[in-house]
Structure 1
Amino acid sequence: MGFIDDHALWSAEQVEAAARLRAEIADLGLRQVRIAWGDQHGIVRGKTLEIDHFWSTMVSGKDFQSATLIFDTTNNPVVAPFGADALGDPRMTGLPDAVLVPDPLTFRVLPWVDGTGWVLADLYYRSGERVPFDTRGVLQRQLELLAEDGYEFVSGIELEFYLTRLEDPRLSWEDSGYPPEPPRVSAVSHGFQYLTEARGDEIAPILSVLRDNIVALGLPLATVEDEWGPGQVEFTFEPMVGAATADAALLVRSVIKQLARRHGYHATFMCRPGLPNAFSSGWHLHQSLRSAETANAFAGSDGELLSPVGRSFMAGLLDHAVECAVLTTPTVNGYKRYRPDSFAPDRVAWAEENRGAMVRVAGVRGDANTHLENRIGEPAANPFLYLASQVVSGRDGVRRTLDPGPSADEPYAAEAQALPATLEAAIGHLESSELLRRELGEPLVRYLSMLKRHEVARFNAYVTDWEQREYFEVY
């Protein structure tokens, strides 16, 4: 017996998968396994274990520093690290070790690292209780509640990012600040020739590396597309069920950044890079529900575009979009994307097959595949919180049989609530949300607010280039 069995932390399916892994790993001759955890920002942290030590981890879990929970995006501590009740949870006092419990269903072999496997883990206290700030657990709980309602969440990823050529990684001691200086990069191609085959072919060597490794990982890549800005690319994936979409997004972003760096490139999921002629990147999340009775509970019938469940779910997404903004757009930079006539939403509205609306109904009347595309997210969003925000909002819409109102045929001219203009404004909406406090828990809402307020305070204290140009001479 060990920690995992003692606290009954694995399902029967996970127990079976773990039993199969020993033979699989022996056949593959793996030397080590990376045990990974998606932190509060959706950034992959973890440890690399020798294979014999990995087997003990499959029984007892792996010790892991809970100190990682007190960091903002650049590892600035948001609280005094050793104070009592540092994060609103007395179990965090002194930042004790937590336990990473691997999920054997997520095990993969990394094709670009010799003899190395990868597995995603969940974070527990030594007591066997799930750490409330483990965002994968937050999503899993919401999916369990959705299952009690008789549904599974089906979602597909459209993820935009920039590929740049790495000219100088800025690795001097002087550049290794807190945060470090960003790398110096150059463009890999010209932009503004959307979906042009020749543009994509210009960077085919690195795109092929990314494509081949993502497919080798068993992830359901669907398309690789040239986007709008110079070196801007979009990867789309086939629909996945439940938490698999978030697990895939977490892994894909990490894979792309690692492989790009290994081949002399820098990939960024920053929403609006500070580069000439850069265009904002988004993360569009396609979604529907399925049940035992129907493969798509959103598809309309009798000439209707959406089913009643689909309409109410969409109404929930609209009703709670503003209070969920921190979960879909968690960075200061992400709010610079919400501009009119920009293929990104700037207000809370829906429309049929219109890419200017926040929620686009993708499909036509009578189409069994009709679903919702929420265009609100930024590529840097924590995948687990992004998906959780959709499930929480949609469930509430269905529970209350909300109506989304009429379609906004001209989304940028619609009389609709504006999306928050800044992260600071979005935090206020998060803190005042009764729904999120009830569904995600008071500790998590307070925790996320504290993290993000710390980032905003650091941003507000920084003297920007704009301020220097605006005031230094004239005053």
Structure 2
Amino acid sequence: MSTAKFVEKQGLYGPAEKRAAERAIDTIQREGIEVVRVAWPDQHGLLRGKALTVPAFISALESGNAITMAPFFFDTANSIVFDPFTADGGFSIDGLGGSPNVIMVPDPGTFTILPWADKTALVFCDLYLADGRPFPLAPRTILKNTLTKMADAGYHLVTGIEMEWYLTKLVDDGLETASLGAPGTPADPPTVAPVGRGYNYLLLDHLDEVDDTIRPIREALDAMGLPIRSFDDEWAPSQFETTFDVLEGIAAADAAALFRTATKQIAKRHGHIASFMCTPAIEGFYANGWHLHTSIVDATTGENLMVPRDDAPLSELGCHYVGGTLAHGVAASVFTTPTINGYRRRRPYSLAPDRVTWGKDNRAAMMRVIGGTNDPASHVENRVGDSAANPYLYMAAQVAAGLDGIINRTDPGSLSEDPYSADVAKLPPTLSEAIDALDRDAFFRREFGDGFIDYMVTMKRSEVTRYEKWLADNPDESTYVNGVTDWEHREYFELF
């Protein structure tokens, strides 16, 4: 099927998108842009795509741009999980046999100049099948669908991002001497060194020590218009936290994905490796988390609907939103914590939740309530996330669960003063158990579709199977560094 005029034929651009496309072309001409990276988030939250010349990008604004769907067959080590050459490609979704092309359609409102790459811009894309159907495995589509359901109910999601990560100095990239990897076997990770020493918290001296490295990242994020609020010295050596001002809807997920990509690429250009892996196998490192702040606003007026008007912790709607996130918190674990390594956070008295609780300004709770009576900034913070989580699926799970709580008026139960001793359901302690919970969960199957849930379950079980085989072949725990296996470090450190 020809993709000529695909965008117009499928009615994919409204007036706002057409105006944004015109602005993108004007910016290209004014700034002398030569290459546009057209990008989409895969099932792992990694950005994939192509670097298009300007004529090819302008053509894509009308016709889309064809690209193989092959990355959707691979787990985090590029192990081929599905057989693309069966009738249905191994999926329970029509039209995916034989590894067909999908059509990348730029979202022109996301067009952004990349300050660190000369004469280069980036734009996020949505994926479509050749017949015009949205590609059903695309995480950005999953989030857009859930946000549409929320908008249809009269609400919008407002999100604040608070993400922890590690900055390390590259000592040896290993390209001349180490294994370059193979499908299902990650390459040897680079040899790195910490950029700081000693456990501390919010120490300005630590920030100053790395200012020359952090500055180009900070300046690039600001130039791209990302609403960065702070760079903080986190607890462990070489650990940092970056916080954002609030963003609405899909913009928050795009910002999180762009932030991680920018941080990693700029750090590497300056001889460093930035990693959003939860707990690297580096002596003395501690777990990273991703704290997701959310509130619900009126879709028409923008009023924060979570503000309590009495002594309640939140408004009635806010309490029901929390109730939904708690009710579906166990099944959502694959989306909030998608890596084997991420479950190392789920320990009692570790400032990370191990069960489905909520608390008033309590950092041990899964859902931390922030704000108070008549405080217009009242909202909740979900503290369960892995810093490597897919932004689109993490947020989609919160939207779906929270909206379900609002619609069904779900009671969140009592606030917890000691969340680690609360008599409530515990969160899955391993990815394997989280996968089983998602597999049998009717709610997310209804919200995201059986095809997508079956896909994610199969994809993540491949990861677990390879890990369990490695454990069986390497039973000596004395070889672990920082309590983390070599398998985990190879799998996640450079990838995320």
Q: TM-score range by the shorter chain?
A: over 0.9
1:7 offset after TM fit, Å? 0.5
Cα deviations across residues 348-396 of structure 1 (Å, max 9, x unaligned)? 1010001011110011233121100000111111111000000110011
CA distance in structure 2 between the aligned counterparts of 1:335 and 1:464, rounded to whole angstroms: 19
Selected match of 2:170 from 166, 169, 175 = 166
CA distance in structure 2 between the aligned counterparts of 1:270 and 1:327, rounded to whole angstroms: 15
Residue aligning to 2:375: 367
1:289 offset after TM fit, Å? 0.7
CA distance in structure 2 between the aligned counterparts of 1:62 and 1:225, rounded to whole angstroms: 40
Selected match of 2:142 from 115, 129, 138 = 138
Selected match of 1:12 from 11, 15, 23 = 15
Residue aligning to 1:110: 114
Letter in 2 for 1:235: T
The 3 A distance-change label for structure 1 pair 182 and 410 is same
The 3 A distance-change label for structure 1 pair 157 and 465 is farther
1:36 aligned counterpart, secondary structure: strand
Question: Does the CA contact (< 8 Å) of 1:152 and 1:289 recur in 2?
Answer: yes
In the superposition, the TM-score normalised over structure 1's length comes to 0.97
For the pair 1:52 / 2:55, whether they are aligned, the reply is yes
Letter in 2 for 1:15: K
Letter in 2 for 1:206: T
CA distance in structure 1 between the aligned counterparts of 2:150 and 2:169, rounded to whole angstroms: 43
Letter in 2 for 1:37: W
Residue aligning to 1:261: 268
1:461 aligned counterpart, secondary structure: helix
Letter in 2 for 1:298: M
Question: Does the CA contact (< 8 Å) of 2:35 and 2:52 recur in 1?
Answer: yes
1:293 offset after TM fit, Å? 4.4
Q: Extract unaligned runs of 5+ from structure 2.
A: 480-496
Q: How does 1:126-205 map to 2 (within 5 A)?
A: 126-172=130-176, 174-177=178-181, 178-205=185-212
Q: Extract unaligned runs of 5+ from structure 1.
A: none
Selected match of 2:390 from 377, 382, 398 = 382
CA distance in structure 1 between the aligned counterparts of 2:471 and 2:155, rounded to whole angstroms: 49
Letter in 2 for 1:60: S
Question: Does the CA contact (< 8 Å) of 1:138 and 1:384 recur in 2?
Answer: yes
Residue aligning to 1:62: 65
CA distance in structure 1 between the aligned counterparts of 2:205 and 2:51, rounded to whole angstroms: 40
Residue aligning to 2:215: 208
The 3 A distance-change label for structure 1 pair 193 and 309 is same
For the pair 1:87 / 2:94, whether they are aligned, the reply is no
CA distance in structure 2 between the aligned counterparts of 1:148 and 1:94, rounded to whole angstroms: 37
CA distance in structure 1 between the aligned counterparts of 2:265 and 2:206, rounded to whole angstroms: 23
CA distance in structure 2 between the aligned counterparts of 1:469 and 1:5, rounded to whole angstroms: 58
CA distance in structure 2 between the aligned counterparts of 1:212 and 1:271, rounded to whole angstroms: 25
Residue aligning to 1:278: 285
1:175 offset after TM fit, Å? 1.4
Residue aligning to 1:355: 363
Residue aligning to 2:100: 96
1:419 aligned counterpart, secondary structure: coil
Residue aligning to 2:485: none
Letter in 1 for 2:458: M
1:144 aligned counterpart, secondary structure: helix
Cα deviations across residues 278-334 of structure 1 (Å, max 9, x unaligned)? 110000000001103452100100232211100000010111000000010001111
Cα deviations across residues 40-82 of structure 1 (Å, max 9, x unaligned)? 1100111111111111111111111111110101211102231
CA distance in structure 1 between the aligned counterparts of 2:202 and 2:262, rounded to whole angstroms: 24
Letter in 2 for 1:313: Y
CA-based RMSD of the aligned residues comes to 1.4
Identity %: 41
| Misfit runs of 4+, over 3 Å | 463-466
Cα deviations across residues 135-158 of structure 1 (Å, max 9, x unaligned)? 100000111110111000000000
1:414 offset after TM fit, Å? 1.4
Number of positions where the alignment pairs a residue of Structure 1 with one of Structure 2 = 471
1:466 offset after TM fit, Å? 6.6
Residue aligning to 1:36: 39
For the pair 1:248 / 2:251, whether they are aligned, the reply is no
CA distance in structure 1 between the aligned counterparts of 2:129 and 2:177, rounded to whole angstroms: 37
Letter in 1 for 2:62: V
CA distance in structure 2 between the aligned counterparts of 1:156 and 1:87, rounded to whole angstroms: 35
The 3 A distance-change label for structure 1 pair 193 and 138 is same
Residue aligning to 1:235: 242
1:464 offset after TM fit, Å? 7.0
Higher deviation after alignment, 18-27 or 231-240: 18-27
Residue aligning to 2:494: none
Question: Does the CA contact (< 8 Å) of 1:304 and 1:366 recur in 2?
Answer: no
Q: How does 1:442-457 map to 2 (within 5 A)?
A: 442-457=450-465
Residue aligning to 2:490: none
Residue aligning to 2:426: 418
Letter in 2 for 1:260: A
For the pair 1:427 / 2:435, whether they are aligned, the reply is yes
Question: Does the CA contact (< 8 Å) of 2:166 and 2:275 recur in 1?
Answer: yes
1:90 aligned counterpart, secondary structure: coil
Selected match of 2:417 from 402, 409, 412 = 409
2:476 aligned counterpart, secondary structure: helix
Question: Does the CA contact (< 8 Å) of 2:307 and 2:372 recur in 1?
Answer: no
Question: Does the CA contact (< 8 Å) of 1:329 and 1:381 recur in 2?
Answer: yes
1:160 aligned counterpart, secondary structure: strand
CA distance in structure 1 between the aligned counterparts of 2:85 and 2:369, rounded to whole angstroms: 49
CA distance in structure 2 between the aligned counterparts of 1:4 and 1:359, rounded to whole angstroms: 41
2:475 aligned counterpart, secondary structure: helix
1:222 aligned counterpart, secondary structure: strand
